């Protein structure tokens, strides 16, 4: 089975290796580039002060974690730290920070179910994130009475569609997109290059929210992985194969 990997180039290596180890073939089509936001000395100082005065700090992505390390170091190990998922947490833990993550599904909804967020009225919560992105976490925290601040650390820049050379690519068996932004970039690239028929291929995404985005953009067969991780993606692929195999067997028996 040939899998289309659409992660940014600098983040695709581990996913590709894991897919190969699981027996899948891959083709890489990076659709977005993660670009750090350049901070002036004044902006660095302001961001450090925001972090130091926070009651809680949430990193929403591995990119946010990487870009925030220099700020956290200057903030003298500001705590407590929270992250949406294990990949983000691992970046902090490698630097000696303690991090809390939700159990089960790794998303904003389950993060907010942690006991630390049961009563946050009057607390200051800082979100480490990229420009734009989902507002759900910020809105829910504000609804609970928290003072929410954002430290935006990077942007997601779409790559030049013409340079992707999609027209010459072999049709994959399965598409993957690990964020809503990537799904939108994929839909735009397919439409602009005359590959709209690829929207009928199976697309695996991380969770129901991104599935809704994909379906709204015209993708016909969207599977939501249980977790927004490599493990979750591979489990979804295996379940899909197993279901396909069972369907084929049933069809053969019916004949």
**pLDDT tier at 253 (50, 70, 90 boundaries)?**
very low
Q: Where are the domains of the chain?
A: 2-34+158-247, 41-155
Q: Write the CATH number of the domain with boundaries 41-155.
A: 3.40.50.10090
Identical fold, 2-34+158-247 and 41-155: yes
Q: Is the pLDDT confidence value at 113 over 50?
A: yes
Per the CB < 8 A criterion, the answer to whether 224 and 206 are in contact is yes
Which residue is listed with tokens 């695996």?
204
The region of weakest confidence among 67-76, 154-163, 230-239 is: 154-163
CATH number for 2-34+158-247: choose from 1.10.1240.10, 3.40.50.10090, 3.50.50.100, 3.20.20.450. 3.40.50.10090
Q: How far is CA 13 from the centre of its chain?
A: 15
**In this prediction, what percent of the chain has a pLDDT beyond 90?**
68
Model confidence, pTM? 0.81
Nearest to 156 by CA among 45, 60, 227, 42: 60
Mark residue 221 as left, alpha or beta (left: phi above 0; alpha: psi -120 to 50; beta: remaining).
beta
Mean pLDDT in residue range 125-142: 88
Nearest to 4 by CA among 16, 17, 22: 16
Cβ-based neighbours of 65, under 8 Å, separated by 6 or more: 59, 83, 88, 89, 91, 92, 128
Mean pLDDT score across all residues of the chain: 89
Q: Tens of pLDDT along 156-209? A: 998 887 777 788 889 999 999 998 999 999 999 999 988 999 999 999 998 888
């Amino acid at each position: 089975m040939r899998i289309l990997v659409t992660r940014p180039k600098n983040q695709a290596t581990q996913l590709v290796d894991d897919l190969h180890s699981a027996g899948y073939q891959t083709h890489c089509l990076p659709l977005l580039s993660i670009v750090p936001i350049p901070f002036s000395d004044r902006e660095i100082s302001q961001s450090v002060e925001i972090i130091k005065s926070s009651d809680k700090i949430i990193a929403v992505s591995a990119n946010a974690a990487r870009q925030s390390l220099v700020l956290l170091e200057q903030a003298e190990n500001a705590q407590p730290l929270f992250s949406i998922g294990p990949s983000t947490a691992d970046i902090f833990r490698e630097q000696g920070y303690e991090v809390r993550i939700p159990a089960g599904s790794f998303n904003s909804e389950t993060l907010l179910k942690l006991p630390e967020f049961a009563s946050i009225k009057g607390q200051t919560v800082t979100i480490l994130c990229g420009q734009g992105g989902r507002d759900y976490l910020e809105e829910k925290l504000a609804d609970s009475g928290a003072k929410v601040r954002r430290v935006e650390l990077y942007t997601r820049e779409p790559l030049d569609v013409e340079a992707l050379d999609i027209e010459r690519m072999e049709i994959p068996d399965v598409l993957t997109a690990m964020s809503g932004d990537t799904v939108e970039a994929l839909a735009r690239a397919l439409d602009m290059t005359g590959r709209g028929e690829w929207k009928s291929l199976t697309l695996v995404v991380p969770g129901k929210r991104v599935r809704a985005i994909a379906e709204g953009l015209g993708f016909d067969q969207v599977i939501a992985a249980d977790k927004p991780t490599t493990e979750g993606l591979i489990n979804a692929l295996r379940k899909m194969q197993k279901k396909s195999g069972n369907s084929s067997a049933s069809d053969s028996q019916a004949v």
